[in-house]
Amino acid sequence: MKISFGDIILANGIQFGETPIDFRVFGQRAMQMVSTVRGGEAKAVDRGNLNTLIEFRVRKKHDTAESAQDYAVRHASELRNLSTDLTIVGEPSNAIYYLKNAVLSSIESTSKGNTSEHFYKIIGGTVSAAMEEE
């Protein structure tokens, strides 16, 4: 699976040994509780909004331990002001999905030797397939 966030590649796929680990998708609808004076019970109203949280971890190999540390230190700053679609490409199917209007919720980066590891939480609207876009 390949994952990119705007122009930044988060997971480069099988060929580069960068496939997502612990890939998870959580969807949550926005609800509003309505209660009236003298009402016998409250009522839940579906507001029709859906937000989706996608979490995954990626390991990246670097040429040196120093380049792994450098990448771990600066990577969060590269993502801080992005508000765009997250693109997910399945492998080997090449099925394309988009997490619409996505923003980085959190990132945790570590380095060990010449490897860096990044745990992403990205939240957005709905997930749609590329065919749905056409």
Three-state SS annotation for 84-117: EEEEEECCCCCCEEEEEEEEEEEEEEEEECCEEE
Give the number of C-alpha atoms closer than 13 A to the C-alpha of residue 98, restricted to the C-beta side: 13
User: What pLDDT score was predicted for residue 41?
Assistant: 82
Quick: pLDDT tens for 75-106. Answer: 989 998 889 999 999 999 999 999 999 999 99
Q: What percent of the chain has pLDDT over 70?
A: 97
pLDDT score, position 45: 82
Beta-carbon contacts of residue 29 (< 8 Å; ≥ 6 apart)? 46, 47, 48, 49, 50
| CB of 117 closer than 8 Å to CB of 107 | no
State yes or no: pLDDT of 134 exceeds 60. no
Give pLDDT, residue 105: 94
pLDDT digits (tens, 9 = 90+) for 26-57: 998 877 888 777 777 888 887 778 899 999 99
Q: Which domains does the chain have, with CATH numbers?
A: 2-31+47-133 (2.40.30)
**Cα Dmax for the chain:** 69
The whole-number pLDDT of residue 133 equals 54
Q: How far apart are CA 29 and CA 102, in angstroms?
A: 16
pLDDT of residue 47: 77
Q: Kindly report the average pLDDT of the chain as a whole number.
A: 90
pTM (predicted TM-score): 0.83
Contact between 88 and 99 (Cβ < 8 Å): yes
β-bridge partners, 106: 121
